[in-house]
Amino acid sequence: MTPAAGPANHPLNTVAPYYTMFKPEFPLSALEGTSGWVLDPFCGRGTTNFAARLLGLPTVGVDASPVAVAIAAAKLVATTAQDTIDLTEHLIRTHRDAAELPFGEFWRLAYHRETLREICAVRQGLLDASLIGDAAIMLRAVMLGALHGPRGKSVQSYFSNQMPRTYATKPAGAVRYWQAREMTPQYVSVMDIVERRAQRACGGAPPAVRGMVLQADSRKAKLPASVGPFSHVVTSPPYYGMRTYMSDQWLRNWFLGGDESPDYSADRQLDTSSPAAFAKDIAQVWDNVADHSIAGCRLSIRFGAVPSVPSDPKELILDSLERASSDWGVLAVNDAGAADSGRRQAQQFGFVRSKPITEIDVTAILRG
């Protein structure tokens, strides 16, 4: 038996806004009464891993996006707010005067120069390969969560000029927006925001569990022998037609050491040339998952579609399971509700003018 679930709404699970998300209730329901290792091969911001932590279950997350991995990793660490705050102060003091600042109209209008200097000091310190540990993992996620978002009327919660929280506006569009409204950035203290966010994320966090988050391609990722085998997999694959997971996170990717502008080539991951090609790629994930799982492993999938690229979510996921060479037997296919009934993928990508598409939950078991 697993222990009773902790607070599903703990701020640790929302340490950084991210548009690929389902509510903790989905993995918590799927994992109720289970034991053993839990895997999410498309972990996104790590909600499955957080749910496993709430239930005291060891867990692994895998994602191709460095941004997703950095956010999800914070869901498994055990550190204190004070350690995170102390590390921030140390990095700003050590690197503030030497940190290299990006330049150009976007950067001039996105951040007050002194705020940008503090951001770059923390960035440079975190990019030091020798800086490891739970406080660094937590600080990285806290910084990503505060890097861009709406401006407050009094208290500021984000470092940037007016921007969305879940994705970064492309530079040219952001500059046009700010110039048209004569919006200039104001100074925001990195220390102040980190302090508030770290106290929320670290205070009263549930007990830590064994686990890790890996940046890898789940079609072929080889997991270390120290984890698994898995008895339950809970995941939500990228919806067919979504091609901008990486470029929409370009600013957070820059903070992690990436380019100072969007890299559209990084968006070409799963094959989206046709539903059949996409299903074939997903099937490779199910086969790789099977190689790391026990017989009887339960696979819980939430999947949907986006209005801009019509597809049948049920047909596509069932096709992917049929194409897998491993023996996944479908147990149930259930309606999970419309994508605008919660903070779901389709809603987060801004598709609110079209009729929402119903998502599905598919449960399968690994036979043999």
Which pLDDT tens digit goes with each residue over 79-126?
999 999 999 999 999 999 999 999 999 999 999 999 999 999 999 999
Mean pLDDT, the chain, as a whole number?
90
pLDDT of residue 307: 76
Distances (CA, A) of 318 to 235, 299, 321, 329, 365: 15, 12, 5, 10, 13
**Minimal CA–CA distance to 70: which of 268, 265, 301, 249?**
249
Give the DSSP letter of residue 101. Answer: P
Q: Which residues in the chain land under pLDDT 50?
A: 1-5, 341-353
Which pLDDT tens digit goes with each residue over 192-228?
999 999 999 999 999 999 999 999 999 999 999 999 9
Give one word for 178, left, alpha or beta, with left for phi > 0 and alpha for psi -120 to 50: alpha
Provide CB contacts within 8 A for 82, sequence distance 6+: none
Distances (CA, A) of 85 to 124, 138, 186: 16, 10, 22
pLDDT of residue 90: 97
For residues 211 and 56, the answer to whether their CB atoms sit within 8 Å is no
Give the DSSP letter of residue 167. Answer: S
pLDDT of residue 343: 42
Provide CB contacts within 8 A for 140, sequence distance 6+: 70, 73, 74, 126, 256
Give the DSSP letter of residue 104. Answer: S
pLDDT of residue 349: 35
Crossing angle between the packed helical segments 275-291 and 313-323, to the nearest 10 degrees = 50
Query: Which domains, ranges and CATH numbers included, belong to the chain?
Result: 11-68+208-366 (3.40.50.150), 81-202 (no CATH)
pLDDT of residue 4: 42
| SS3 at position 327 | coil
Amino acid in position 300:
S
Residue 105: CA count within 13 A, CB half-sphere: 11
Taking the model in full, what pTM does it have? 0.92
| SS3 at position 307 | coil
Counting Cβ atoms within 10 Å, is residue 273 exposed (0-12), middle (13-18) or buried (19+)?
Answer: exposed
Distances (CA, A) of 199 to 144, 205, 266, 269, 288: 16, 10, 34, 36, 38
